[in-house]
Amino acid sequence: MNDVIIIGGSFAGLAAALQLGRARRKVTVLDTCRPRNRFAGHSHGLLGHDHKPPLDILAEARQQLARYPTVRLVTAGAESISGALDDFCVVTDDNESLRARRLILSYGVVDQTPDVQGFAEGWGTSIVPCPYCDGFEVAGQHWGLAWSGPQSHNYVRLYHDWTETLTVFADGHDIAPDIRADLARRGIPVVDGRITEIARHGVHGATVKLDTAANVAVDILFAHPRNKPSASLHESLGLATVATPLGIALKVDERRETSMPGIYAAGDLANPAMASVTTAISQGAMAGISAQQSMLV
């Protein structure tokens, strides 16, 4: 019997495993080795690992976990979950049945890139979602923002700390007149029409091609496509979710516990709007500590 099974072995899951391993709890981590940020060349903002490739950081984390004898890392996915508090059963995709007193779900989300030529190829390099992750490297340059809804207005204000040169691409969205007026006041041009292709050039640069306007070259393009959980285990469990502008997230309390006692969630699965390694690690550590403390007698 495991104390905890962690489903998802990226930043959140491994952070949870570290806390549990140091508390000498028996832990199994199931990981399919497809982290959300595998498309990015470097990860930023993580103290001690700034500007390192994310896959290198994860590899180093797995090596460090090897010193904890109660932590087992398994390359496998979870096919099903059954049971309840103190006696959960997880069946893996290679048909192994594992039992645990607690579960941590950290299997993340999948970005649903639009059917635009060049978008998928540029995702993580010339097309990115997070200024905290990539903004410093292109600060002071010409940024583009693919409008995704009213929440995009907040991004306009946020980006001002990094650049004063921003072009908004409406991409078929109906931007409200008052928002257009505010953008005009800020000196931010709005290019109407739908994006038909994005051609990458250089390290970050992109040329945005439109159906009703001339091509526009930017030094980096920010976009926020919708996402979905990378697995459906939460659905079979009937866990409560909350709607966000980008997709659904698992509902958790301040201890990262879901609506089902004994099941915790961390990382993008519980906060898909914040694609941050730092946030994922913090949430994972909290989930691990909370799961451990819930088993105290």
Q: Is the pLDDT confidence value at 294 over 90?
A: yes
pLDDT higher for 276 or 292? Answer: 292
Structure tokens at 120: 């998928």
Who contacts 234 (Cβ-Cβ below 8 Å, separation ≥6)?
Answer: 105, 241, 250, 258, 265, 269
User: Of all residues in the chain, what percent carry a pLDDT higher than 90?
Assistant: 80
Task: Read off the pTM.
Answer: 0.91
Task: Express each pLDDT in 32-43 by its tens digit.
Answer: 988 777 767 777
Q: Is the pLDDT confidence value at 275 over 70?
A: no
Q: Is the pLDDT confidence value at 261 over 80?
A: yes
Structure-token match 């946020």, residue found? 158
| CA–CA distance, 269 with 192 (Å, rounded to integer) | 33
Residue-level pLDDT at 204 = 87
Please check whether residue 294 is in contact with residue 21, taking contact to mean a CB–CB distance below 8 angstroms: no
Q: Which of left, alpha, beta for 181 (phi over 0: left; psi -120 to 50: alpha)? A: alpha
Task: Measure CA 196 to chain center.
Answer: 26
Residue-level pLDDT at 39 = 67
Residue range 233-258: mean pLDDT, rounded: 95
Task: Express each pLDDT in 25-81 by its tens digit.
Answer: 999 999 998 877 776 777 777 878 888 888 898 999 999 999 999 999 999 999 999
Residue range 217-235: mean pLDDT, rounded: 94
- pLDDT category at 191 given cuts 50, 70, 90 is very high
Residue range 143-147: mean pLDDT, rounded: 97
Residue range 2-24: mean pLDDT, rounded: 97
- pLDDT category at 273 given cuts 50, 70, 90 is low
